Structure 1
Amino acid sequence: MAAWVLRRPVFRLRCLQTLGRDFTQAQNIHHPTEDETDEHEGKKGAFQPHEASLQGGYRLHYTPSSYHHSVGNTARSRSQTDNEEDELSLATLAPTFRQQSNRYSVSSSRHLSSSKNTLLDLALSKDHKTEMPSASQFHRQPVPPDTKVDTRAFHKCRPEYASMTLDLTQRPHTIEWEEALHLLQKVGVLRGSMKPSDVSQFLVELSCLHAYKMSLVRNNQYFIMLLRYSVENLRLFTDLQLLEVLQAFVWLDIPSTHTLLGLYETELSCRTKQMTLHQLLFAADLWRCIGRQVPQFLQHLYDSVQLYLGKMGIPELVQLLYIMGEGRHCPKDLIHPVQQLLMSHLHQLNPEEIGIICLGLFKSQTSMSETAVTHIVDKAHSNVRDMSDFAIVNVMKFLRYSYLYHREWMEAMTHEIPRRAPKMGVQGLMHVALTCSALHYRNDDILISVAERVPSLVPHCRSKDSSKLLWGFGNLQFLPGQSPSFYPSLAEGLRQRKAEFQRYPEHLLSGLLGLAFVSQFPEDLLALALSPDFVKLALKSTQLDLKKDLYTLDGTVALELPQWTGPRLSCELRKEVADLLWKFAQSDVCQKPEVQEAESALQDLLGGEKFVCKRMILPHTRSIDLEVHFDSTGQPIPVNPESHTATLSAPERDSHKFISNRNHYCCHSKQLLGMHTMKRRQLKLAGYRVVELSYHEWFPMLRKSRTEKLTYLHCKVFDSL
């Protein structure tokens, strides 16, 4: 007999008395790498197939990542982290518009804990303590960047930026160590008799020491004393002195996690109403250069900005958007006036400013109208040849967040990316691929140019980079034969970064899913992903639901690797996820008019309800199906799902039938995306014949008569027997 199915995708000081003691008890602190930073802030790094997906049964969660530069000048190094792109959880703040969502998907990224900090507990520790190499150091010792990116290049576009930003490429006039030592000894002599102006002046002068000798200052007891006096005089500083001290902290390389800085944030927050707009933006930029998240200060900044909106020029607006992006938030009451200002100044923006605006809007998850987004990308397109690689990647990120397909921009990318790819860094390439995937835009010129560049950059790939590249390329059905070294090199990159999976298990799962989409099954990595210890680790996540990803991999292994003797998920977990998916499908997907219409018409065609079964044949692929059976003579027979296992061994033919959605395909193409291609392949492995009711055909039929629908279905069903 034959079985037929119609399917849908189911996808926070200690008292001052303790300050001296705190310094002597300073301990090494774990400084999160860019990878960690990305995923800590609102779980921006989460990237995985997700529920109520926009893209055919799964959704990508994007998180800000950065191009981290480990160089001697740490302050300058921090500027490189401005490229923390990225990927904010689209599940928390949805844009005002989207590319048409996939209504047929069923589906169901970390908080860095910190020990109790003391006021001055971090200033010295990192300079004189070392640790033995360990697996955990994988997280704190990022691979040197493959390509350097100037993430603050837009500040060079206009001289006005100089009054509200710090140029990290221009250190203060340097002093020698002997002069610095003399200053420190003078601190010891003056001690408590110092005035606020003395304290600020000492800090400013000490910050002029050569960067490579700065640790000698931070380890000096008189410097510790000076910091304590700065706290005691905090409220006595003038606004200018306060900003001077904060700037000095940048060059002194005070750790961003130092609790001393919390007091400075509080003090600055209390002064926002009396500061000028440029002072406010300068303070925000200094916090960015220090690398510290200051939500309290930024909220006060945003409240004060309301008073200056009518007086904002282009530099102020661009810098504000940059700061919003680095703070990962744009207050709702600022979105509309900011959009209006942006639209009024858009024609005067230069290429790098456009790029940084896109990055700021992307990182802050600021949803603008479709018209506004289109105009921004129109402006970018008119300047595309003059844009840096960094700016182009930022536009791509903004398009990905907005789910806006901009035809002219994407067509321009078919020329720009192949031309630029050989010199681009791995993270930029990853974002290009991820945007193409999110927009369902497949272009072999883009994909091949990226694929040819990536293997040489694998040593620079974090597990996140590898996993997202694998996901994006697999989703777009870039076949292994098109670039033979691409998939193996990235799979090897995952193996080299196994230690990272202890903190980011989702990276392994995402990468393996991308590989499975193109029939690549690295059994050692699959065995790791399905091992009891890894499954237990993945299920511990309170911010990520990885059950469905595990379930999809498990079901895929069962069907595509019949010789598999490795670990599998427990029956209990499989049943739990399957029940969850089916419950969602019944309340959502099964209620779609086009699904109900197809089910009803099939029942009429074949003789009643008993001949059509709506269920999930392969629940791990997150889809529902309309299943029908035929005997060997082509006559419909009742469907009994419980006895299906037995019928598979019988001589009768089994078939499967599916109402597809446009989000299952690459745009302007009949090429199915990864999950959907994989499902059809696995249905055939399970003994079904897939008969496609493509959306191009079925959706127009919904407007036609019942007779025309039945005639269409009759041809589809019986002509395939």
Structure 2
Amino acid sequence: MALAQHTHARTKNDDEDKKEALGHQEVTVHAGYKLYYNPSAYHQAPSSFNSQADGDEEERCLAVHAPSTWQQSNRYSISCSRHLSSMKNTLLDLTFNKGPESQKSSVQPYHRTHMPPDVKVDSRAFLKGRTEYASVSHDSTQRPQPVEWDEALSLLQRVSALRGSMKPSNVSSFFSELSRLKSDHMSLLRNDQRFAMLLRYSVEHLCLFTHPQLLDVLQAFVWMDMPSNHSVLEAYEVELSRRADQMTFHQLMFAADLWRCIGKQVPDFLHHLYNSVHPYLNQVGLPEMVHLFYIVGEGRHCPKYLIRPVEKLLIGHLQQLHPEEVGTVCLGLFKSQTSLSEKSLTFIVNKACSEVEKMTDFAMANVLKYLRFSYLYHRQWMEAMVEEVPRRAPGMGVKGLMHVALTCSALHYSNDQIFSAIAERVPSLVPHCRIKDVCKFLWAFGQLGFLPTQSPNFYPSLTEALRQRKAMFQRYPEHLLTGLLGLAFVSQFPEDLIALALSPEFVNQALKNTQLELKKDFFTLNESVALEMPQWKGPRLSSELREEVSEILWKFAQTDVCQKAEVTEAETALQDLLGGEQFVSKRMILPHTRSIDLEVHLNSAGQPIPVNSQRLLWTRNHYCIQSQQLLGLHAMKIRHLKLAGFRVVELRPQEWFPLLKKSRREKFAYLHCKLYDNL
């Protein structure tokens, strides 16, 4: 909290839906071919299970659980919820769309002429560490000996000749052989009428396949690059779900991995797989456990009943994990939004610390992601990042660097060595950045007060990237606000982009999205411009909208922040010190900064003056961890209070919190020094 000391009385008020497995189901496999699949003829319809869209991992993995870690009640990061905001996130309420975002870099072609490719990572590298993974996973490096198109044509002619006399073994064999076709001919195969015929017969024979034959066909689909939205795959998922109780745990795991390689979300099948874990618990060794975490992450869901058994398995196997396996476990937990106990999480990060030098950049970033999700500050790990990030940054890609920056931001961990190394690398990678990458970088760097003078090319290159990608903001307005607020934290105000963001057309369009609460972000940007750019002649928010948001913020502050002990104690002590409640006003001097103030007025002789408080949201979470450096919004608030004519007296948490349990005299002495030593 802050004491705002004023010299006069002036104030600033300014996936497709799952089909029913009942009755005849029509599956279109190719133009001219429609087949009718009736799974209910030989099994009971599976229970429903909510499907989740396969979106970008950091968008899907919001901190919706409440891990018992140091910061669970105050999550000041861009992962705080703008999504139908509950006002419980008291900073920026920022997040991104939960659905998939197929954004491409929109820079002009000439920027790409001699641009080296972004760094690629292998998310399945952990599978290479142990031969035991072969029984539960698809090995993309073991592609069968290729066949030529002429051989494929011969096979297709046999399909046409056999037609309805094909046996399940014939169907399985044909798929296995055709899957060996060279990848550049696969599109020819998928467009061949005889291949569509084979698909039809495969569905007709589904219930007659043996388990290995069914898995062989599914693996053939992987080699064939079968589109994940192909309607025939629905039938295969239903059949595999029907058979789940008859298959071994390893077969279920292998099938789940094949679905992942195809890229199809199969929540119903995964539901059966997860149910099988407990009965087969004695078969879940280290490789099976790690691969289960991978599958859980790729499925974006971990049922609650599975968390404790796999947590126990994890702790039991933890010391035997390879470095990449530690990263895989963290990624699976992150993607599935699964909270482990703080004790278990600390054990995992301890293990990661002991292996960090052997980890790939991908695995290291995965540990950071899970720390960000859990809001756990692990001192030893973050100190290791001070060594590792500057060493690795010149060879890291966009996403790895972004996750380092976002984790530091979420944990309020400010370190110039880390951020300088990232800032030196990012400008050369800007053409590879999606619009949300650009905006997240701006947010994280601004939030932790990384100044433009510390890396002259960093902010200009990202700001120019915003300009080149303007078209994206019509679809994703929240990204523009994220980027501009990050810039505002360090007093950067690109006028053309601000004019766009505050234009009535853009504001109205953005506020039509009922899934996002963006009013507070518009308000913060608008009021920041008003104070820091007095010459601004561009668009502004309407007074009605500004008053509405001010009222929302103040109502929340009254029911939440104003009731906290550190605030009420300071207010009472100041009233006693100055001679009564009329000398202390608890209000939001600058509502757009989303925190409250205790305002007192003193005359030139240092005597208190009554404060009018007719109209009209620091805590430890306003600072970088283990530091007296304020975070972006709160550093901006200090700047804005001074611009508004106030003298700011900070009651720093490390000073004030210990005094809450002290005597009234000690509190008075502290507050007296704070007030009068600042005159």
Q: How does the TM-score come out when normalised to structure 2?
A: 0.87
Q: 1:530 Cα shift?
A: 1.6
- Counterpart of 1:694? 652
Q: 1:113 Cα shift?
A: 11
Question: Matched residues, percent identical?
Answer: 65
Q: 1:100 Cα shift?
A: 5.9
Q: 1:594 Cα shift?
A: 1.4
Match of 1:89 among 48, 54, 62: 62
Match of 1:198 among 170, 174, 180: 170
- Counterpart of 2:346? 374
Q: In 2, Cα distance between the equivalents of 1:305 and 1:204?
A: 30
- Counterpart of 2:84? none
- Counterpart of 1:474? 446
Q: 1:138 Cα shift?
A: 6.4
**Structure 1 residues 245 and 202, CA, compared in 2 at 3 Å: closer, same or farther?**
same
**Structure 1 residues 714 and 541, CA, compared in 2 at 3 Å: closer, same or farther?**
same
- Could you list the runs of 4 or more consecutive aligned residues of structure 1 that deviate by over 6 angstroms after TM superposition? 40-44, 134-139
**Structure 1 residues 255 and 542, CA, compared in 2 at 3 Å: closer, same or farther?**
farther
Residues 199-227 of structure 1, C-alpha deviations (whole Å, 9 max, x = no match): 22212211111001111101111112221
- Please say if 1:176 is aligned against 2:148: yes
Q: In 2, Cα distance between the equivalents of 1:234 and 1:281?
A: 20
Match of 1:454 among 411, 416, 426: 426
Please say if residues 146 and 426 of structure 1, whose CA atoms lie closer than 8 Å, have aligned partners that are also in contact: yes
Q: In 1, Cα distance between the equivalents of 2:539 and 2:51?
A: 34
**SS of 1:555 mapped into structure 2:** helix
Counterparts of residues 612-651 of structure 1 (less than 5 Å): 612-641=584-613
**SS of 2:66 mapped into structure 1:** coil
- Counterpart of 1:262? 234
Please say if residues 86 and 362 of structure 1, whose CA atoms lie closer than 8 Å, have aligned partners that are also in contact: no
Please say if residues 85 and 359 of structure 1, whose CA atoms lie closer than 8 Å, have aligned partners that are also in contact: no
Q: After superposing the two structures, state which structure 1 stretch, 397-406 or 315-324, moved more.
A: 397-406
Q: In 2, Cα distance between the equivalents of 1:392 and 1:643?
A: 50
Q: In 2, Cα distance between the equivalents of 1:331 and 1:18?
A: 31
Q: 1:689 Cα shift?
A: 0.9
Q: In 1, Cα distance between the equivalents of 2:531 and 2:661?
A: 38
Q: In 2, Cα distance between the equivalents of 1:538 and 1:669?
A: 37
Counterparts of residues 505-544 of structure 1 (less than 5 Å): 505-544=477-516
Q: In 1, Cα distance between the equivalents of 2:290 and 2:374?
A: 19
Please say if residues 104 and 434 of structure 2, whose CA atoms lie closer than 8 Å, have aligned partners that are also in contact: no
Q: In 2, Cα distance between the equivalents of 1:237 and 1:43?
A: 30
**Structure 1 residues 661 and 18, CA, compared in 2 at 3 Å: closer, same or farther?**
closer
Residues 135-184 of structure 1, C-alpha deviations (whole Å, 9 max, x = no match): 99969x9x996001111110011001011111123322110001111212
Please say if residues 95 and 366 of structure 1, whose CA atoms lie closer than 8 Å, have aligned partners that are also in contact: no
Q: After superposing the two structures, state which structure 1 stretch, 209-218 or 248-257, moved more.
A: 248-257
Q: 1:312 Cα shift?
A: 1.1
- Counterpart of 2:306? 334
Q: 1:239 Cα shift?
A: 1.3
- Counterpart of 2:14? none
Please say if residues 339 and 374 of structure 2, whose CA atoms lie closer than 8 Å, have aligned partners that are also in contact: yes
Q: 1:631 Cα shift?
A: 2.7
**Structure 1 residues 23 and 385, CA, compared in 2 at 3 Å: closer, same or farther?**
farther
**Structure 1 residues 189 and 396, CA, compared in 2 at 3 Å: closer, same or farther?**
same
Please say if residues 4 and 626 of structure 1, whose CA atoms lie closer than 8 Å, have aligned partners that are also in contact: no
**Structure 1 residues 595 and 189, CA, compared in 2 at 3 Å: closer, same or farther?**
same
**Structure 1 residues 17 and 147, CA, compared in 2 at 3 Å: closer, same or farther?**
closer
**SS of 2:674 mapped into structure 1:** helix
* Matched letter for residue 577 of structure 1: V
Please say if residues 102 and 661 of structure 1, whose CA atoms lie closer than 8 Å, have aligned partners that are also in contact: no
**Structure 1 residues 454 and 274, CA, compared in 2 at 3 Å: closer, same or farther?**
same
Match of 1:583 among 543, 555, 562: 555
* Matched letter for residue 522 of structure 1: P
**SS of 1:564 mapped into structure 2:** coil
* Matched letter for residue 648 of structure 2: V
**Structure 1 residues 135 and 393, CA, compared in 2 at 3 Å: closer, same or farther?**
closer
**SS of 2:74 mapped into structure 1:** coil
Please say if residues 42 and 110 of structure 1, whose CA atoms lie closer than 8 Å, have aligned partners that are also in contact: no
Q: 1:385 Cα shift?
A: 1.2
**SS of 1:537 mapped into structure 2:** helix
Q: After superposing the two structures, state which structure 1 stretch, 449-458 or 462-471, moved more.
A: 462-471
- Please say if 1:677 is aligned against 2:661: no
Q: In 2, Cα distance between the equivalents of 1:616 and 1:361?
A: 39
Q: After superposing the two structures, state which structure 1 stretch, 282-291 or 395-404, moved more.
A: 395-404
Please say if residues 294 and 329 of structure 2, whose CA atoms lie closer than 8 Å, have aligned partners that are also in contact: yes
- Counterpart of 2:40? none
Q: After superposing the two structures, state which structure 1 stretch, 252-261 or 686-695, moved more.
A: 252-261
Q: 1:418 Cα shift?
A: 0.8
Q: After superposing the two structures, state which structure 1 stretch, 671-680 or 607-616, moved more.
A: 607-616
**SS of 1:478 mapped into structure 2:** coil
Residues 1-37 of structure 1, C-alpha deviations (whole Å, 9 max, x = no match): 96289xxxxxx27966673675689xxxxxxxxxxxx
**SS of 2:671 mapped into structure 1:** helix
Please say if residues 478 and 518 of structure 1, whose CA atoms lie closer than 8 Å, have aligned partners that are also in contact: yes
* Matched letter for residue 166 of structure 1: H
Please say if residues 499 and 539 of structure 2, whose CA atoms lie closer than 8 Å, have aligned partners that are also in contact: yes
Residues 419-469 of structure 1, C-alpha deviations (whole Å, 9 max, x = no match): 111000011000011111111111111111111000000000001111111
- Please say if 1:19 is aligned against 2:3: no
Q: In 2, Cα distance between the equivalents of 1:663 and 1:406?
A: 16
Q: In 2, Cα distance between the equivalents of 1:700 and 1:16?
A: 68
Q: After superposing the two structures, state which structure 1 stretch, 315-324 or 366-375, moved more.
A: 366-375
Q: After superposing the two structures, state which structure 1 stretch, 381-390 or 190-199, moved more.
A: 190-199
- Counterpart of 1:704? 662
Counterparts of residues 264-663 of structure 1 (less than 5 Å): 264-641=236-613, 660-663=618-621
Q: 1:642 Cα shift?
A: 5.9
**Structure 1 residues 551 and 354, CA, compared in 2 at 3 Å: closer, same or farther?**
same
Residues 108-140 of structure 1, C-alpha deviations (whole Å, 9 max, x = no match): 7447699xxxxxxxxxxxxxxxxxxx999969x
- Counterpart of 1:126? none
**SS of 2:345 mapped into structure 1:** helix
* Matched letter for residue 200 of structure 1: S
Q: In 2, Cα distance between the equivalents of 1:23 and 1:561?
A: 65
- Counterpart of 1:651? none
Please say if residues 86 and 397 of structure 1, whose CA atoms lie closer than 8 Å, have aligned partners that are also in contact: no
* Matched letter for residue 511 of structure 2: L
Please say if residues 160 and 315 of structure 1, whose CA atoms lie closer than 8 Å, have aligned partners that are also in contact: yes
Q: 1:685 Cα shift?
A: 0.8
**Structure 1 residues 501 and 168, CA, compared in 2 at 3 Å: closer, same or farther?**
farther
Q: In 2, Cα distance between the equivalents of 1:498 and 1:628?
A: 45
**SS of 1:265 mapped into structure 2:** helix
Q: In 1, Cα distance between the equivalents of 2:421 and 2:27?
A: 58
Residues 572-627 of structure 1, C-alpha deviations (whole Å, 9 max, x = no match): 22222211111111111111111111111111122222211111111111011111
**SS of 2:535 mapped into structure 1:** coil
Q: In 1, Cα distance between the equivalents of 2:424 and 2:412?
A: 21
Q: In 2, Cα distance between the equivalents of 1:561 and 1:271?
A: 67
Residues 241-277 of structure 1, C-alpha deviations (whole Å, 9 max, x = no match): 1111111111111111222222211111111111111
Q: In 1, Cα distance between the equivalents of 2:207 and 2:201?
A: 11
- Please say if 1:250 is aligned against 2:222: yes
* Matched letter for residue 177 of structure 2: E
- Counterpart of 2:85? none
Q: Which runs of 5+ in 1 are unaligned?
A: 6-11, 26-39, 45-63, 66-83, 115-133, 645-657
**Structure 1 residues 17 and 433, CA, compared in 2 at 3 Å: closer, same or farther?**
closer
Q: After superposing the two structures, state which structure 1 stretch, 480-489 or 252-261, moved more.
A: 252-261
- Residue-pair matches, total: 628
**SS of 1:243 mapped into structure 2:** helix
**Structure 1 residues 363 and 615, CA, compared in 2 at 3 Å: closer, same or farther?**
same
Q: 1:537 Cα shift?
A: 2.9
* Matched letter for residue 106 of structure 1: T
- For the aligned residue pairs, the C-alpha RMSD in angstroms reads 2.8
Please say if residues 2 and 632 of structure 1, whose CA atoms lie closer than 8 Å, have aligned partners that are also in contact: no
